[in-house]
Chains A and B, each alone.
Chain A
């Protein structure tokens, strides 16, 4: 059942992201977006391991995390359409959505910006002694921000219930990890803060799920943070219209062989969780969900300028 539900979610993310790329090509949505095609197993593995009361934060590349946490596709997509039904009422766009009621504490346009934010949520959990864990998603590029080091040190000192989950997808925009990391193993940095650090296969749902669940439980028991490095690959371009001049098509072909969605489909068939016909059915249902979301967005009223003008401060 776990695998089946995970597959549904991974496929939803894949189709959502593919539709976003299509909508840009057709000129139907505005701004920019960073899709996570190829990284779906991380999103779903982490989200499945979390409890409803847990928190998750993400980055500019956050659709997958948010959908895995239960976002309504139409309300997320509406941010790209600039519509009032969006999670940020059209004000945020792809990179700025938040829904605390779902344990989703936001995407963030500043690389590394959410690392202390997620940690503050963990600080709140530790002060109030709730059993909430905060899952902080970020990229290999973000791990080079100074605030990463400041924050991990503090979280370790205070034994906060926060998991630092880095998606090492090989690139920060055009900068490969070879160019950007003096030590290619990001998990090694955990040693500097005296916390556990592990590197896992981020393209394998079960491996992500098991690992995150283990460290989430430990954090819940008061054992403090962990750094989990998920090795993956961004099959899509960095953002809309990325010509991908910094890597070869051959390299991409190789990476497609490790496509987490295809890997999952193979597993489902091998283990007889689903038949080929059932997989096709899931695909059709998911296509219908995305198509409906697009129609909902197109028919929704535009973001309200008057309402935004009065939104600067809280009461």
Chain B
């Protein structure tokens, strides 16, 4: 075992995959000498050269579209969109091209789009958003949202080996976090399997990406008050492991879904709808969503943290839900 950061395991995983398969290459803004804004590709340029660690101009739509073309022609590109906020500029290529290639044109598109959602660093309204909701309703795109180093590596390997476009979320608050992991990189983890990261019978808490970290911390606090929360880390949003969710909800009867993005129009609403459709009679209480405020993310720390779920708000909301009659 060793103790390493999320950044470190992403870097090691990229390195291992680039070594394993010559058709893999990285492309994005400032990923070479600079190593990416969070250092996830630091050192790779020296090892693999500028053909495979390809710095680009600031042209998100072209980066994405060119990668899609290269993918269909036989490469396995991994592109980086520096902040998830900038993905708006790549949406057309992902939605209108990547997502249509297999179902309409009958072509494989082995593409990974890595990007960094999330608030918490005071970067302001255009460098802090969680925009995965844009893609959740687009059939044809897979979405992985790990919450720890082991899953980060295992899911990234799966994403890279998948023959479909994958949106891969690396929450910026995860990068500096340290995790206990094996000396060897984990095996790839298949998509569509949520992980029960804590068992409990009083309520179910569902989360993904960095919110899963907070959910576990909140669950530990709840336990001090004799409330045992079952925490489900989704790991992938598409495909969604609804079966694990339903099974848990059937045993707890109470469920809360946490989402960092704004409440309205988020993916938590979709999960809530599916739970209501499939397990309504098992629910002791209405499904609860705890999400970001319907506001842009402000810069000042005091304002920012007030806008998104925190351990305190999760603990309070979960406790209220568990104790409600």
CB pair B66–A154 under 8 Å, yes or no, is: yes
Question: A246: CB under 8 A from chain B?
Answer: no
Cβ–Cβ < 8 Å partners of A312 in chain B:
102-103, 139-140
A residues within 8 Å of B by Cβ?
Answer: 55, 88-89, 91-92, 96-98, 100, 105-106, 108-110, 113, 115-125, 127-128, 146-147, 150-151, 153-154, 157, 308, 311-315
CB pair A151–B66 under 8 Å, yes or no, is: yes
Cβ–Cβ < 8 Å partners of A119 in chain B:
62, 65-66, 69
CB pair B107–A123 under 8 Å, yes or no, is: no
Q: What is the bound-complex CA distance between A246 and B26, given in angstroms?
A: 47
CB pair A120–B61 under 8 Å, yes or no, is: no
Rounded to whole Å, the gap between the CB of B270 and the closest CB of chain A is 17
CB pair B65–A116 under 8 Å, yes or no, is: yes
Given contacts A151-B62, A154-B62, contact A313 B102 (CB under 8 A): yes
CB pair B25–A117 under 8 Å, yes or no, is: no
B residues within 8 Å of A by Cβ?
Answer: 25, 51, 56-57, 59, 61-75, 77, 92-93, 96-97, 100, 102-109, 139-140, 142, 163-164
CB pair A121–B69 under 8 Å, yes or no, is: yes
CB pair B102–A314 under 8 Å, yes or no, is: yes
CB pair B104–A123 under 8 Å, yes or no, is: no
Q: What is the bound-complex CA distance between A110 and B93, given in angstroms?
A: 9
Which 9 A-B pairs rank lowest in CB-CB distance, beginning with the nearest?
A120-B69, A116-B65, A150-B62, A124-B73, A150-B59, A120-B70, A314-B163, A117-B69, A120-B66
Cβ–Cβ < 8 Å partners of B57 in chain A:
150, 153-154, 157
Cβ–Cβ < 8 Å partners of B67 in chain A:
120
The interface centre, meaning the residue of A116, A118, A122 with most chain B CB atoms within 10 A of its CB, is A116
CB nearest neighbor in A for B96: A110
Cβ–Cβ < 8 Å partners of A88 in chain B:
104-106
Cβ–Cβ < 8 Å partners of A150 in chain B:
57, 59, 61-62
CB pair A308–B103 under 8 Å, yes or no, is: yes
CB nearest neighbor in B for A124: B73
Cβ–Cβ < 8 Å partners of B140 in chain A:
312-313
Q: What is the bound-complex CA distance between A124 and B105, given in angstroms?
A: 19
